[in-house]
Every structure is written in C-alpha cells, then in structure tokens.
Amino acid sequence: MLSPERRPSMVERRPSFFSFQQPTPLIVPHLAGIEDPLPETTPEKVDVLIVGTGMVESVLAAALSWQGSNVLHVDSNDYYGDSSATLTVEQIKRWVSQINDNQIPCYKNAKLYVSNDIGPNGKYQSRTFGIDLSPKIMFAKSDLLSILVKSRVYQYLEFQALSTFHTFENDSFEKLQNSRQEIFTNDTLPLMTKRNLMKFIKFVLDWEQQPEIWEPYKDKSLAEFLVDKFKLDKPQVFELIFSIGLCYNIDTKVPESLQRIRRYLISFDVYGPFPVLYSKYGGAGEISQGFCRSAAVAGATYKLNEKLVTYNPETKIATFEDGSKVEVEEKVVMSPSQAPEYSYNMPEQKYEVHRLTCIVEKNCSEWFNNSESAAVIVFPPNSLKSGNKEVVQAIIIGSGSECCPDGTCIWYLSTTQQGPRAEMDLDAALEAMEISIIRESSTKIPEDDNLVQVTQDGHSIVNSFKLGQSFKEYVTREKVQLLAKLYYTQLTNTPPFNVVNPALFDHSQEQINKFIPNASDNGVIYTAMPSGEISYDEVVTAAKVIYEKIVGSDDDFFDVDFEDEDPMAMGNDGTAPTYDENAIEDDDEDEDVDMNRDDDNNEFVGKMEI
C-alpha cells in the first residue's frame, strides 16, 4: 500500500486510481506477456512515447515503466540500440550507406572497408561480429552499475573484467602502474616520488571534503596542480591525467579531473583487481536491450521499424510513417538520431566525436592480462606522429568477449579532436598500434634453438629476433591484416567533459515552450546523443533529468522493490549471499578503499607516514 513517505507515482495520481483501490502492490504495473490476451494493435493512448532505443532512452523507458507509466517505445531501425547499437558486419554496411544517404541525423562522413574474408564465402561470417557504434567501458563503482543491479537487468547480461590500461609514450606502450602494490614495488620510482604519489592518492579519494587544498586551483589545469601542490613529475602527471583519469586533453580542469581520477581508484578492487567491466556480446547495444526487456516486463510496448513522422502537441497525436497514430498523454521523448524531417526544435549538435573501428586478424592477447579479453590504450597529447592535441583512446575487445571470432580482435579508436585533423590523429594511432602489436607478438616467438620455423601450411618463417635483425625492419615486412575498417563522425550536444553534471542535459525546457510553425517536433523532449566520454557515466544522469521532467521528481527513479527472491544472487548451495548492497550504491560510505590488500607491503606504508 501507499507509504506516507513515498511520493505517489503517476498511476496513483490519476483520478481513476482511487476509484478502485486494489489490494495488489501498487508499484506493479500491468505485466505484458503474462496478462493475456494482448492487444494486437498499437495502443491508442499512452502516457509517454519514447523514440529511439539507445542507452539513455532505454534506461528511461525501464525507469518510467517500473514507476507505473504506460510507455510506447519505438525505433525506426529493425534492431535495438539506435546510436548505442551493436551491429553485425552486414548491418554496419547498411548503416554506413544510410548515413551517406543522409538518412540518419547526427552522423556524417562514414567510410567502410570490408575484406572478402568476411562474408558468405569468407573465413568469417558477418554475424559472428558485434560492433558497437558507441563503445564504452563501465566503472565498477558507477551509477549505471548500481541501477543494473537494482533493476535486475544485470541478469540478462554477462560481464568481464578489464584491468589493462596502456599509455603510449616514446613510441612504445607502458602498462599502467595502477595498484598501490605496483607503485610500491616499482623499482624505477624514486622513494620521494612514491611518497608524493601516495599523498596525492590519499587526497583524491576524499578530495571534495578538502576544498582548502584544491580550490585555489579550481580554474587551473590538473597538470599545474599536480606539479605545484604534489611535486609530481611528468610521467606520473601524464599517467594520472590520461590513463587513470582518462581525460581528453592537458587542460582538463582540477575538479573534473579529480572526480575522474577518484572514479578509477574507488572502482579498483570492488570486484577484484581491476577498475572496469564490459559486457559480453557487445557493450551499449546489449545493455540497452536489457533495459528494454526490463521495460517490456513492466508493461512497455515495443515496436521496431516504426518511424515517427510528426507530433502535434495540441492534439497530442503522434503520427508514424506507416500511418498509425497514438495519443500521448504526457510527453514525447526522442533521440536526435531518430528526428524526422522538419525537426526545427532539435538542439544544435555542435560537438564531434570521431571514431575509427577496425577488425584485425590477430588475437592481440599480448595486450591483455591473463584470463581477460580487453584493454584500453591511451595516446596522450603529442605522443603521435600527427602531433595530436587531444587524446586518442582505444578500447580493444578480443574474442573472449564473444564480440568477434577466435583469432580476431576489434579496435575502437576515438578522439574528441574537432575538425578534419581528427582523422589524421586516428590514423596515426592506428599505425602505432599496428606496429606495436606486430612487434609484441613477434617477440613471443619461442626462444628455442630453431632459427627457422615452419608454419602449418608449410611456409618457413625466419625468426628475425634470433637472427639479430632489428625489429623495425621486421615490422615493415609484416602487416596487420585488417578485416574491416570503419570511420565515422558522430555529432552530439554533450561536450566530452563534466558529463556527470545534470545541468549539461537540462536544455529541454526551452524547447518545450517553443512552437515553430510547420515543425514536426514541437513539444518533443530530445535526449542527448552519446558524447565522446569513454565510460557510461553520462547515461544515468541524462535519463534522470528527463525522468524528472516527466514524473516531477527523480525520487523514485528505479525505486523498485522486487519481493521475490533473486535466483541469480543465490549461491550454488541455495543460500542467500551476504553482500551489502550499499557497498556499490553509495560512494560515500566507502571512502576508505583499500587499493591493495597485499599486506606484504605494509613496511612501506609505515615509512611513508600516510
């Protein structure tokens, strides 16, 4: 029943509600698929129409459905995910030609090469690849992760660990020293540097409570702050800003960088010695499917291949391309990527995210930690031949993720560099990666006595390492076999920084009040396209802002209390686990994150008076 503390949901606020008090739990909406028979036609009237099944829209659909809203969720594509989709190679081909026919707003300049090795007559089948349009990683301590758990959507998904962060420097990859243990045991670091580094790490875990330290620097770059205040040297500064903080340029301001560094550190060791997870079979595409399914379980109606043509805020009628209509009682929410013709209200999508995605015929296990199948590679400013000003980031996804077949790997490169030089930076980073993976995989040739090895198909290969040839020479002869190469520019109105700030996503009010004659999208609330941010950080913030606009408050955002026992959280012996859910929901309770549980190094801690 209604508890006095809980703000009534929209269902409860409807006048019809109190006329038939039901004994069943009020939070539970109509269950599609379980209540039958189901209507065969599109509902005539819904509370909310959501157009596009990307991450933000899908999280919103699930949140609203569980809150009790009657949601119709459509997508003009024949697949789920929209701008967050995970696609097969064949689907990518179609997507690229749609972009080049100007059929998909917010994307431009798409170029695709696909080798004949992928296809009906090739070695690899199109459907064995899952290519993310917006590749993302998930921090172990993040709002999205806690909502995945709370909503039980995680049960539809499988997650794997990612612990390897490489930084490209001086023409080679440095593996990130990311645990306290590694910092302590790193012989190359002078004691003084270790001490300063530990001092900073201790500060950053609790930085918001110590404004006296950082506030004088709040408009300065983190680099300046680190050098000035913590006496750190360039290698550590770069590592903190670019590998741990995953910032986009050297000018990133102090508070934002501190928040990003803390995000990494508090995520470390939540599930094990790694800060980041990714979902199997595809990233955002899988997660958005999961939220859509959750919304469907809560009663939302799903319709793919349904394109909105126009919405009339006066009659509240939304009209689709196939001629069907629906009356929308409350709000229409739409992704800019699904905007119909005459969408004069769409916010300007002024930021570019440039992406280069390659499928390579190498397993790239050299870059992964044991039992993992993914890595992140960061190219700091000025580390590439192109003289890059902004960072290039790469997410490497191997076949263990089931996103690509054995022996292949997907490289997702992106940069927030604006304009045509972005493509040059991406190409330079790709070249550096190609050289590196060949070099690293060739050093793996076993150092046995055989100078000449014979491959399976009878060709002899000379072990150049043993023959004393320089790697550089060796490199020029071998090439990484690219099975596919995809380049595109995505537009967004979300800048690639500060994406946890709700104010960034709160630009819909002005739209609603505007009425442009002949516009097809009057009264429509637009969601934000994915930004250049490498993590999912913006998703929940963006969904909540719109949720609040519709429901009036975000208090009950995913305030679902499932009464049944959770079969997946049960141990194999059938006993309930003893975890404390707060541990992952409430950042503040866990300030004292132990980054290293290896007590062997305690001697250092003592000496360093932390």
Residues 126-165 that bind other proteins (CB under 8 A): 127, 140, 145, 148-149, 152-156, 158-161
Q: Which of residues 240-279 bind other proteins (CB under 8 A)?
A: 269-273, 277
Q: Which of residues 37-56 bind other proteins (CB under 8 A)?
A: 37-38, 40
Burial of 579 (0-12, 13-18, 19+ CB in 10 A): exposed
Does 31 engage in binding with other proteins (CB under 8 A)? Answer: yes
Q: Which of residues 587-606 bind other proteins (CB under 8 A)?
A: 590, 593-594, 597-598
Binding mask 393-412 for other proteins (x = CB under 8 A): -------xx-----------
Query: Cis ω on the peptide bond leading into residue 347 (within 30° of 0)?
Result: no
**Segment lying near other proteins (by CB under 8 A), choices 256-264, 313-321, 341-349, 583-591:** 583-591
- Cβ 593 to other proteins, closest distance in Å? 7
- Cβ 226 to other proteins, closest distance in Å? 27
Q: Which of residues 63-122 bind other proteins (CB under 8 A)?
A: 79-80
Q: Which of residues 299-328 bind other proteins (CB under 8 A)?
A: 299, 301-306
Tell me, what amino acid is at 497? F
CA 290 – CA 293 distance, rounded (Å): 5
- Cβ 53 to other proteins, closest distance in Å? 9
CA 61 – CA 75 distance, rounded (Å): 12
**Segment lying near other proteins (by CB under 8 A), choices 2-10, 32-40, 198-206, 420-428:** 32-40
Three-state secondary structure readout of 276-345: EEEECCCCHHHHHHHHHHHHHHCCCEEECCCCEEEEECCCCEEEECCCCEEEEEEEEEECHHHCCCCCCC
β-strand pairing of 317-320 with 308-312: antiparallel
Q: Strands, DSSP E only, in 171-275?
A: 172-175
Does 206 engage in binding with other proteins (CB under 8 A)? Answer: no
Q: With H, G, I as helix, E, B as strand and everything else as coil, classify residue 379.
A: strand
Does 22 engage in binding with other proteins (CB under 8 A)? Answer: no
Q: Which of residues 341-370 bind other proteins (CB under 8 A)?
A: 370
**How many residues sit in the footprint of other proteins (CB under 8 A)?**
77
Phi, psi (rounded to 5 degrees) for 427: -65, -40
Question: Which of 233, 559 has the CB closer to other proteins?
Answer: 559
Question: Which of 294, 436 has the CB closer to other proteins?
Answer: 294
| DSSP assignment letter at 157 | -
* Cα distance from N-terminal residue to C-terminal residue, the chain: 51
Tokens 């739409």 correspond to what residue?
A: 334
- Work out whether the CA dihedral 274, 279, 282, 288 comes out positive or negative: negative
Question: Which of 47, 269 has the CB closer to other proteins?
Answer: 269
Does 296 engage in binding with other proteins (CB under 8 A)? Answer: yes
- Cβ 352 to other proteins, closest distance in Å? 30
Q: Which of residues 474-533 bind other proteins (CB under 8 A)?
A: none
Q: Are 356 and 487 in contact (CB under 8 A)?
A: yes
Question: Which of 44, 158 has the CB closer to other proteins?
Answer: 158
CA 86 – CA 284 distance, rounded (Å): 7
Question: Which of 37, 323 has the CB closer to other proteins?
Answer: 37
Q: With H, G, I as helix, E, B as strand and everything else as coil, classify residue 186.
A: coil
Q: Which of residues 554-573 bind other proteins (CB under 8 A)?
A: 560, 562-564, 566-569, 572
Question: Which of 159, 351 has the CB closer to other proteins?
Answer: 159
